[in-house]
Structure 1
Amino acid sequence: MKKHIPNALTLLNLLCGCIAVILAINSNFISAAIFVFLGVFFDFFDGFAARKLQVQSELGLQLDSLADMVTSGLVPGVIMYKLLILTLDTDLVQGESWEPTTFGVDFNVPILPLLGLFITLASAYRLAKFNIDEDQQTYFKGLPTPANALLIISLPLIIEFQNSDAINSIILNTWFLLGLTFLSCYLLNSGIKLFALKFKTYGFKGNATRYIFIILCAVLLIVLQFAAIPVIIILYILMSVLDNLTSK
């Protein structure tokens, strides 16, 4: 019975991702973000449960990646696509679109925002590499897809809740979103070694970087609220690089 618990949590992650996709397509970004957060929560605890119950399996590994592909791959791609649409003028959206086919099927989709789906493609490539890379047991190579998903979904949350015209004008800028899209694709598949929040022991020794990071995350979230999420991702990368240099 216990061997099914981690897989059940993974399937809950997938369910949250499916719901988030539907909500994101309908531009209900806040609700979509809630389900992504829930999905990431289940994604963290399915691996934790598998290790604690000692029921890790190849099936669980593959299922986890399939769930992540939806929650942390497809959802951020769709959200970036929708945000890019918001940055375009109505005339531009209508002008840069495919014409309906001779069979009467309407493919009236703006072309430029489709570049946001590169995040989904890069996520798929990153997850496939992770599954065949035996080195990534104690660290990640490149930004994990859940972290990248949180980065992307933080954008509509910042717009909605931070109430800053200056920040909103930056986020709702086509070139900023395109730059972030390609930066996201690079980070997902970069060779940068990033520490994993996996604790073999709970003592401070050997886990100093993890504990400091968690404390700083809590402080940043209290002070900056949703605007803290991009800062936390940058902090995560910088602390990982620093940790790599000091360990050498």
Structure 2
Amino acid sequence: MRKAIPNTLTLLNLFCGCIAVIFTVKDDFVIAAIFVFLGIFFDFFDGFAARKLNVQSELGLQLDSLADVVTSGVVPGLIMFKLLEITHSSWDAFNVMPFLGLSITLASAYRLAKFNIDEEQQNYFKGLPTPANALLILSLPLIMEYQNNDIINGIILNKWFLLAVIVFSCYILNASVKLFALKFKNFGFADNVVRYVFLILSLVLIIVLQFAAIPLIILLYISLSILNNFTSN
């Protein structure tokens, strides 16, 4: 019975991802984002439950990645497809640019496959985790929906900006950059300075900037990780 709990949470992640795909296709990015957030929530707690119940398994590892491919791979790829589609006043079958958004899905799948066979990533990540990258992409339509600033909207719907985001996303997903994990072995400040600084600054950014804080938080996470790598060597 205990073994079924983590896998059930993983399947709930996949279920949420499938629903998010449906709403993305229907151009309802807000509902899609809600289900991606729920999927990421289940994704966090399936691993947590497996460790606490001591029922980690190879099946669970593979199932987790398969669920993440949908929730944190297919959905952000489709979101980017839709955003690139919006940048063109008319769409036809010969316009290949929107399909470049699916590069994010491919890069996410490749990143997850590498993660499954990499035994080093216990206390840190190599490259940006797919859920964090999904939040980065999903933040773009949410910023447009809830903050509705003409200047910001103009930037987000600029095809060159979106292409730059795709390139950055595909690169950082699979870069050999060590990024710290938010795993606390203890709660001492000295042993977790970078984590506490990140969490405090992230909270301030969210309070001040709301959804516009998400891209800045991702950049902050990467920057603090690089700085931490230099100071710890």
The aligned residue for residue 60 of structure 2 is 60
The aligned residue for residue 45 of structure 1 is 45
Shift of 1:215: 1.5
> Separation in 1 of the partners of 2:170 and 2:134?
11
Shift of 1:143: 0.5
The aligned residue for residue 142 of structure 1 is 127
Spell out, residue by residue over 1:194-217, the C-alpha distance to the aligned partner (whole angstroms, 9 max, x if none): 001122223323222112211211
- Residues 1:239 and 2:221 aligned together: no
Aligned length: 233
The aligned residue for residue 178 of structure 1 is 163
Shift of 1:4: 1.3
> Separation in 2 of the partners of 1:230 and 1:153?
10
The aligned residue for residue 88 of structure 2 is 88
CA-based RMSD: 1.0
Gaps of at least 5 residues in structure 1 are: 99-109
Higher Cα radius of gyration: 1
Q: Please give the secondary structure, in 2, of the residue aligned with 1:137.
A: coil
The aligned residue for residue 36 of structure 2 is 36
Q: Please give the secondary structure, in 1, of the residue aligned with 2:10.
A: helix
Task: Output the TM-score relative to the length of structure 2.
Answer: 0.98
- Residues 1:112 and 2:97 aligned together: yes
- Residues 1:222 and 2:196 aligned together: no
Q: Please give the secondary structure, in 1, of the residue aligned with 2:119.
A: coil
The aligned residue for residue 200 of structure 1 is 185
Q: Please give the secondary structure, in 2, of the residue aligned with 1:199.
A: coil
Partner amino acid, structure 1, of 2:170: C
The aligned residue for residue 103 of structure 1 is none
Shift of 1:52: 1.4
Structure 1 range deviating more: 237-246 or 201-210 = 201-210
- Residues 1:153 and 2:135 aligned together: no
> Separation in 2 of the partners of 1:58 and 1:141?
20
**1:187 counterpart (172, 182, 190):** 172
> Separation in 1 of the partners of 2:103 and 2:67?
18
Partner amino acid, structure 1, of 2:40: V
Structure 1 range deviating more: 74-83 or 196-205 = 196-205
> Separation in 2 of the partners of 1:14 and 1:201?
31
Shift of 1:83: 0.4
> Separation in 1 of the partners of 2:190 and 2:4?
34
> Separation in 1 of the partners of 2:43 and 2:143?
24
> Separation in 1 of the partners of 2:112 and 2:162?
23
Identity of aligned pairs, percent?
70
Partner amino acid, structure 2, of 1:71: T
Specify whether residues 185 and 218 from structure 1 end up closer, same or farther in structure 2 by C-alpha distance, changes over 3 A only. Answer: same
Spell out, residue by residue over 1:85-122, the C-alpha distance to the aligned partner (whole angstroms, 9 max, x if none): 000121xx23xx25xxxxxxxxxxx4210000000000
> Separation in 1 of the partners of 2:30 and 2:2?
34
> Separation in 1 of the partners of 2:44 and 2:208?
25
Q: Please give the secondary structure, in 2, of the residue aligned with 1:82.
A: helix
Shift of 1:182: 1.1
Task: After the TM superposition, list the runs of 4 or more consecutive aligned residues in structure 1 that deviate by more than 3 angstroms.
Answer: none
